[in-house]
Structure 1
Amino acid sequence: MSAKLERLSQHLEKHLGDRLKRLTLALGEVSIEVAAADYAGVMLTLRDEPELGFEELIDLCGVDYSAYGESWQGRRFAAVSHLLSIANNWRLRVRVFAEDDGFPVVASVTPIWSSANWFEREAFDLFGIVFDGHEDLRRILTDYGFVGHPFRKDFPISGHVEMRYDPDEGRVIYQPVTIEPRENTPRIRREDTYGDVAHG
């Protein structure tokens, strides 16, 4: 581990204390996990504490852990943020799990970083994670009448409804999915000498 990452880890432990549930160093990156109740306060500390100084939120996304390995026993939905400190030249990944798998809710960080606005809307749209305190939490990628959240692991691949243009009505209409589920195994064709170094 580099001295810089060691220093960042020490600063995180010093300023977050008991609010830090887990700190991981892997592949040259520092990741932390915090409880949903502490999330907003931790994010504010990460931005405002000069020894941490994460003035920029680079990314925020949702994650559905329901099919994550065979031994996963934790909560289902998480919001994962990637922070950058330009002043201190380091990065941090922050993960927070929603307490309720049936109705996942975590605090919004848009009052801290305005760049979180569309990221949180995307996580809401695709995973159904509600960001408490977001001033305009509505769908951003799917249609207004879309049913469900398409990045959830239990969402059907073909969806619930399909839309098509009806020339008789002169408009787009929605109808139940008519596609039959099937397994498609692609055929791969290669030359006889594929991968043979001697034959180029």
Structure 2
Amino acid sequence: MKLVTGGARSGKSRHAEQLAANFERVLYIATSKIFDVEMAQRIAHHRDSRPAHWRTVEQYRELNAVINERNCAQEAVLLECITTLITNVMYDAAGEKPEEEWDFELIEEAVARQIDILLAACKACPAEVILVTNEVGMGIVPENRLARHFRDIAGRVNQRLAQCADEVWLVVSGIGVKIK
């Protein structure tokens, strides 16, 4: 498993796609959900920019359904992106409650369950798995409660993924540096 991390617009997605392009077959797992027109446009742009022969699955939960022992050893599985997955699981776990009533301990447990499923799936999968995530720990402490909890949860998830990964790439200004 390879983990590619970096800040927003750092070039991490392009770097991960270059790693995947070394394989004849690629399964691209998109974790985004369409919430508004702008997000729909972003997703359409990403779809259009990927090679036509790459298969795409849009999913962020129960990833063992698409990452498993049935994947081909000659393919790459590229998951874009972990922090979007975390966001979606957080909102799912919180339900309809207002943010000031969120139980972040229970929310983090829900996120951890999905990461457990993902890591077990990656271990069982013979394909090269490439995970993309945002580095969230290089900025200032966020002003609001939700953003602070998101940063903390994402930071702990990223540490866990990096520990399990065979390779970790940090991408800054379009340049990937292998750090593990």
TM-score band by shorter chain is under 0.3
- Which structure has the highest strand share of the two? 1
- Which structure has the highest helix share of the two? 2
Q: Identify the structure with bigger relative contact order (alpha carbons < 8 Å, sequence gap 6+).
A: 2
State the TM-score, normalizing by the size of structure 1. 0.25
State the TM-score, normalizing by the size of structure 2. 0.27
